[in-house]
Amino acid sequence: MMLNHHIKVAIRNIQKQGVYALLNIVGLSVGLVLGLFVILLVRHELNYDGSFSDSDQIYRMSTEGVLANNLINSATTPMPLAHVLEKMDGVEKIVRFIPGANNVVVKGDVRYNESGFMFGSEQFFELFDLKIIEGNTPVDLSSPRKVVITERVAGMYFQDEAAVGKFINRDGVEYEVVAVCEELPTASHFDFSFVASLNTIDEILLRKGDSAYVENWKSDWMYLNCYTYFKLNKNIDKNEFVKQVNVEKDKLISPQVEEMMKLEQSTDSIELSFFAQSIKSIHFASHLDGELKANSKPIYIQLFVFVAMFVLLTTCVNFMNLTTAKLKVKYREVGYRQLVGATRGQLIMQFLVEALVYGLGAMFIGMVLLELLLPYFNSFFELNLEFNFFRGWVDFFGILIALLLVGLIAGSFPAFFFSGRKPEKLISGNYSIGKAGFVIRGLLVTSQFAVAMFLVVVASAMWWQIDFVRDSEHGYDAQNIMVIERGNAVRKKLPEFKRELLQVEGVKYVSACSSLPGDDYIQGPFRINDVDNDRVVMLPLNYVDEDYFNVLNLRLKAGRFLSTELGDSMGLSLNVAAVKKLKLRKPLEDKLEVFGNSKWSLNTVGVIKDFHYESFFSEIKPLGLLLLSNKMRFEYVLVKTEGVNPEQIEEIKKIWDKYSDGAPFVHKSMSERLNRLYEEEVRIAKIMSVFALLSLFIALLGVIALVAFIIEYKAESIAIKNVIGASRQSIMSQVFSMFGFYVLLGVLFASLPAYWAIKAWASSYAYFDFIGFGAFILWAIVLIALAFVVTFIQTFRGSTLRLAAS
Amino acid sequence: MIHARNLTKVVRNGSIETTVLQNVNLDIEESEYVVILGPSGSGKTSLINTIGLIDKPSSGEMFFMGHEVSRLKERQRSNLRRGGIGFVFQNFGLIDELNVLENIELPLQYLKYSKKNRQEQVQKMLSKFQLTHLKQYYPNQLSALQKQMVAIARAYVINPDVLIADEPTGNLLSADGNKVMDVLSALNEEGLTIVMATHSATEADKGQRVIQLYDGHVITENIKNRL
């Protein structure tokens, strides 16, 4: 079999090539590892929520429209929407759930602060069919105070004991564990650790109000208070279905809207409609208010695919360059093969097989590397990728096909380049490749440097922007602020708690608030009736105590800060953006009515300068700050200190333990919280940086190959120049001058696409700081300098060898 | 078997044209041992490449086994070469990655002989050229003489119509050169047509006919030792 012969020759060639073979395999391995990593990454991103049996038929209902002059684009829906869905043909299952607030869950002496507690309706585990590890199926969530916990939670609270039938307590409610389920895959657009029966919420709400309040909460179309999912029959057209849902919804919602308008004597319109999102598309493409997790952006996927393709291509280019570097030897060999009877097809096959053998070697090394590095990749990039080469047919064949493609692309150039030569040229040693040959080789290096330049510039721009959002003026001072989560645990004795904290050395101010940057702020409808007209506006709100302003060092534009002493329980602080949106001419005099309850009106006591209470992704929006009453729940305690030291934290913890009724002490710095707003960006920037470094490595391998080729090709002239006394520097300059232009061309060529990519990426930011063209120039210089250094080393080594040979 | 009429070969190097063969006429018959003799630069290699269908003439006619080949494309010439012509070069032309056995087997593989056939043929060659003990050796482990013997065995294994040897002793010591010449003579005695290029008059004496080239012209043609 000729194939055996080709494989044998390829292996022996690799052995003989030594350093070149090693460089070739290393280059291919690096490229393949990157390629595989990106494939895993993209697959991970695209396969979100694909693990449920009915994933293709599961949709989330979301809301859009106008409510009190505010555009609504929300992942949440009103509770009664489910009743509309129930009546629709084609709906096979419906689930509503409501994520619970961060709270302490207690089982005996075991207590943890839990953020993954949610309330789900009866069919939760039928729609999201996770494996039930303990307990009966179907899971019964029909009655209140039942809960399903995940395997991890069962281990935490019950260790090796059976969990079903046992009880846990959250916020004073005892829940019976009815089942233990497997963990939700991390590639899901939501997450949970506990799912309690949804109707438990009725009891919880009853503690806050009467049954009418509960009923209103459950039936009001104006409350976007739950997430609604359903399974749609395959035969039903989704778009037609959604149209019908909106028609049916209008019949129910219109009377409520009309009644409200009449009551409030308002002319503002309320328009709500609903749309369905396939759950498999949510992570990839949905960016609504109230998303349950930070979703991905298509630009990242596009960028990754682009990067993977180009890294693999540059890897192939590298292979071509290195394979053809030993031109002279190859030429003769091919010539002799032709003369002993090899056809062109047989020669092409030989080169392709050689490329595949290299590819197999590189793939093996690449897969071992990937297996070894994946845990580190996952940890470094905060991912949870899995690689199942030998466990999944898709992976197995996918990788084999990728290998075949890489082998074919990488081997094609040497194959066609050599096999197409005439034997008399090959054996005569007259192997001039002509100008076109050099240009092609030069362009290969151009492509490698273009990719490297593109990636280093884009990665640099990302880090530049991340530094900008972290370091720039937020309109408040985030330094030295400790954020204690689940602050409500000290609500009953907040004044005492604050007083005691202020005794701790270095503690300057202590404050409580309901929301922090990065949270979804609650919104309240306000009505303004002045000379302009009558209008209703939704305003994001934050309940804070009077020390909030000092802790964040907010700046006043007019009036004063909220004050308990001055009786500001009905007072309000607005930011400048809110004043503009509300079109208040005299903000300190105009009164704002709470829409729906005209008895309540608020006085604006001060206007504060705008500050970034959300991330830099969005423009600074209007904000109202209301004074926290002693009966109101709050989420955070903020402690402003002069500096942070472990003793101080320990003292604060002691005081917390004294007042928090056993709630765990969970704290972070404000800076850490701010950084979390950009963690997705940091993750992407890290990935891009690694890609950039590796593509630079591959580009430099390309330079080594090209220099090797030039030295080989110009062997005689180099030897002669050496003999007649030319310095190595002059030889090096000659070599560099032969391809330096192509490096420069690559660097220039990449600049415009890099600029476009940065602009495309920047479009997700409301505030963006462009890295500047100086960085482009700087990187261009660095890349050219690196190419020069590699040329210097390679030429020095090559010319020494040539001298010895001559 | 091989007939050339008014063969002319012009080589272009940029704007410079050099006529390396001019109006060469020759006839080589089956089982002949023809030597092309000439100093360096006389056009020996050009002529031998043309006869061996490696290259084609710029003008003139060339017949190989009854086929007019002067206008054939490389692929067509390659088809005629395959199995029809065996080559021996001054620098041996062995494939470094293949051992002796594999080098000899290589043309048979390209010609798609069956494995059994290949093994038989290769064994015959190893034995004929006394290379059996070297069959696992690689070219870099062989002496120059051994390399050339392997090259001859590889050229002969396909049982070619003609064996073309371009300065086969050029890289050998004179004693080794004589051995190679003896082998070629022996092959010719078995009926193999041989065309050899050399600059050595002594070696040329081994052939039956000597065509002397100078500056691309045939200046003499001596018939010697014709059987």
Burial A213-231 (b: 16+ CB within 10 A, else e): ebeebbebbbebbbbbbbb
Kindly report the length of chain A: 806
Please give the structure tokens belonging to residue A56: 């293709």
Question: HSE (CB half, 13 Å, CA atoms) of B143?
Answer: 7
* A422 vs B74, B83, B109: nearest CB: B74
Helix or strand or coil: residue A44?
A: helix
Residue B159 buriedness (CB in 10 A; 0-12 / 13-18 / 19+):
exposed
Distance from CA of B225 to the nearest CA of A (A): 30
Amino acid at B185: S
Please give the structure tokens belonging to residue A658: 């004294």
B227 pLDDT more than 50: no
CB contact under 8 A, A336 and B95: yes
CB contact under 8 A, B74 and A340: no
Distance from CA of A356 to the nearest CA of B (A): 18
How far lies A757's CA from each of A264, A391, A678, A754, B178, in Å? Answer: 49, 37, 19, 5, 72
> Which residues of chain A register pLDDT less than 50?
803-806
- Say yes or no: B51 contacts chain A, CB-CB below 8 A: no
* B95 vs A337, A423, A427: nearest CB: A337
Helix or strand or coil: residue A42?
A: helix
User: What confidence score (pLDDT) does residue A805 get?
Assistant: 47
* B83 vs A2, A12, A341: nearest CB: A341
CA dihedral sign, ordered B175, B181, B183, B185? negative
- For strands A117-120 and A167-170, give the pairing: unpaired
A753 and A451 in contact (C-beta within 8 Å)?
no
- Say yes or no: B41 contacts chain A, CB-CB below 8 A: no
Distance CA A674, CA A667 (A): 14
If contacts are CB pairs under 8 Å, which of residues 468-507 in chain A contact chain B?
Answer: none
Residues with Cβ within 8 Å of residue A90, at least 6 apart in sequence: A232, A233, A235, A236, A241
B153 and B125 in contact (C-beta within 8 Å)?
yes
Which residue does chain B place closest to A429, by CA atoms? Answer: B91
Distance from CA of B9 to the nearest CA of A (A): 13
- Say yes or no: A508 contacts chain B, CB-CB below 8 A: no
* B54 vs A13, A339, A346: nearest CB: A339
Q: Which residues of A touch B93 (CB under 8 A)?
A: 332, 335-336, 339, 427
CB contact under 8 A, B96 and A422: no
Residue A275 buriedness (CB in 10 A; 0-12 / 13-18 / 19+):
middle
Distance CA A636, CA A669 (A): 12
How far lies A462's CA from each of A39, A283, A381, A518, A752, in Å? Answer: 22, 22, 15, 20, 16
CB contact under 8 A, B49 and A344: no
User: What confidence score (pLDDT) does residue B186 get?
Assistant: 94
As for how many domains chain B has, the answer is 1
Residue A752 buriedness (CB in 10 A; 0-12 / 13-18 / 19+):
exposed
| Backbone phi and psi for residue A366, each to the nearest 5 degrees, phi listed first | -60, -40
Q: Which residues of A touch B158 (CB under 8 A)?
A: 341
- Say yes or no: B141 contacts chain A, CB-CB below 8 A: no
Please give the structure tokens belonging to residue A24: 């070739």
A638 and A551 in contact (C-beta within 8 Å)?
yes
Residues with Cβ within 8 Å of residue A385, at least 6 apart in sequence: A37, A40, A41, A44, A374, A377, A378
A540 and A621 in contact (C-beta within 8 Å)?
yes
Which residue does chain B place closest to A349, by CA atoms? Answer: B110
Distance CA A189, CA A115 (A): 15
Q: Which residues of A touch B106 (CB under 8 A)?
A: 5, 337, 340-341
CB contact under 8 A, B74 and A12: no
- Say yes or no: A7 contacts chain B, CB-CB below 8 A: no
* B97 vs A2, A9, A424: nearest CB: A9
Whether the complex's predicted ipTM is more than 0.90 is answered with no
CB contact under 8 A, A9 and B95: yes
Helix or strand or coil: residue A519?
A: coil
Please give the structure tokens belonging to residue B136: 């696992």
Q: Which of B52, B198, B64, B102 is nearest to A338 (CA)?
A: B52
Distance from CA of B154 to the nearest CA of A (A): 8
- Say yes or no: B158 contacts chain A, CB-CB below 8 A: yes
* B110 vs A332, A333, A346: nearest CB: A346
A450 and A750 in contact (C-beta within 8 Å)?
yes
Distance from CA of A743 to the nearest CA of B (A): 29
Q: Which residues of B touch A424 (CB under 8 A)?
A: 49, 54-55
B197 and B36 in contact (C-beta within 8 Å)?
yes
DSSP 3-state percent helix, strand, coil across chain B (nearest 5): 35, 30, 35
B106 and A337 in contact (C-beta within 8 Å)?
yes
Distance from CA of B95 to the nearest CA of A (A): 6
* B55 vs A9, A340, A424: nearest CB: A424
Written as one string, the DSSP assignment of A408-445 is: HHHHHHHHHHHHTS-HHHHHHT----HHHHHHHHHHHH
In percent, the amount of chain A with pLDDT more than 70 equals 91
Q: Which residues are bridge partners to A346 per DSSP?
A: none
- Say yes or no: A354 contacts chain B, CB-CB below 8 A: no
- Say yes or no: A342 contacts chain B, CB-CB below 8 A: yes
CB contact under 8 A, A340 and B83: no
Q: Which residues of B touch A346 (CB under 8 A)?
A: 110
CB contact under 8 A, A339 and B98: no
- Say yes or no: A12 contacts chain B, CB-CB below 8 A: yes
Residues with Cβ within 8 Å of residue A145, at least 6 apart in sequence: A173, A174, A175, A176, A196, A197, A200, A203
Residues with Cβ within 8 Å of residue A404, at least 6 apart in sequence: A356
Residues with Cβ within 8 Å of residue A605, at least 6 apart in sequence: A559, A560, A561, A562, A563, A566, A568, A571, A572, A573, A588
Domain assignment present for B42: yes
Q: CATH number of the domain that B183 lies in?
A: 3.40.50.300
Domain assignment present for B25: no
Residue of A13, A340, A343, A424 to mutate, interface with B, max B Cβ within 10 Å: A340
Distance from CA of B81 to the nearest CA of A (A): 7
Please give the structure tokens belonging to residue B142: 């062989």
Helix or strand or coil: residue B94?
A: coil
Distance CA A127, CA A59 (A): 10
Distance CA A480, CA A2 (A): 73
Residues with Cβ within 8 Å of residue A193, at least 6 apart in sequence: A114, A116, A117, A149, A150, A152, A153
Distance from CA of A346 to the nearest CA of B (A): 8
How far lies A804's CA from each of A718, A797, B91, in Å? Answer: 11, 11, 22
Residue of A339, A354, A430 to mutate, interface with B, max B Cβ within 10 Å: A339
* A9 vs B55, B98, B155: nearest CB: B98
A33 and A371 in contact (C-beta within 8 Å)?
no
- Say yes or no: B57 contacts chain A, CB-CB below 8 A: no
Residue of B54, B73, B158 to mutate, interface with A, max A Cβ within 10 Å: B54
pLDDT digits (tens, 9 = 90+) for B110-168: 999 999 999 999 999 999 999 999 999 999 999 999 999 999 999 999 999 999 999 99
A550 and A510 in contact (C-beta within 8 Å)?
no
What is the domain range of residue B196? 31-57+82-223
Kindly report the length of chain B: 227
Kindly tell me the number of DSSP H helices and DSSP E strands found in chain B.
7, 10
User: What confidence score (pLDDT) does residue A804 get?
Assistant: 45
Cα angle at A384 between A379 and A389, to 5 degrees? 110
Residue A190 buriedness (CB in 10 A; 0-12 / 13-18 / 19+):
buried
Report whether the peptide linkage leading into residue A138 is cis, meaning its omega lies within 30 degrees of zero. Answer: yes
Element (H, E) at B164: strand B162-166
DSSP 3-state percent helix, strand, coil across chain A (nearest 5): 55, 20, 30
User: What confidence score (pLDDT) does residue A214 get?
Assistant: 77
Distance CA B4, CA B216 (A): 14
pLDDT tier at B74, thresholds 50, 70, 90: confident
Number of Cβ pairs < 8 A linking chain A and chain B? 66
Cα angle at A382 between A376 and A388, to 5 degrees? 60
